[in-house]
Amino acid sequence: DVKVTQSSRYLVKRTGEKVFLECVQDMDHENMFWYRQDPGLGLRLIYFSYDVKMKEKGDIPEGYSVSREKKERFSLILESASTNQTSMYLCASSRDAYEQYFGPGTRLTVT
């Protein structure tokens, strides 16, 4: 059974702080993704990675960066958190270009 975990379910940070969101998958998947979920906007892709040390920009990469030093771990970094980054963040992984398995999400509030 595929398991995707995220480091925090809820996180509260102050404006300007550096924020790290961690995602770990245990199925040796090559592909990993970070999405942001906002009401009425669906799931928007921030960044994705096909392999260790590889990253590709998604639809809304501004204000974010990522790191993938190990195959099982994909980190999302907010260099200087802003209030408009308050959102639900979902990580996902996949073996191929098809089914993606999601983590439980991190609800981030920036005050």
Partner 1 sequence: GENVEQHPSTLSVQEGDSAVIKCTYSDSASNYFPWYKQELGKRPQLIIDIRSNVGEKKDQRIAVTLNKTAKHFSLHITETQPEDSAVYFCAASGSGGKLIFGQGTELSVKP
The site for partner 1 (CB under 8 A) is made up of 4, 31, 33, 35, 40-45, 48, 50, 56, 58, 90, 94, 96-100, 102-105
CB of 98 to partner 1, least distance (A): 6
Q: How far is the CB of 99 from partner 1 (least distance, A)?
A: 5
User: Exposed, middle or buried, 54 (CB in 10 Å: 0-12/13-18/19+)?
Assistant: exposed
Cα dihedral 67, 69, 73, 79 in deg (nearest 10): -20
Question: CB-wise, 13 or 95, nearer to partner 1?
Answer: 95
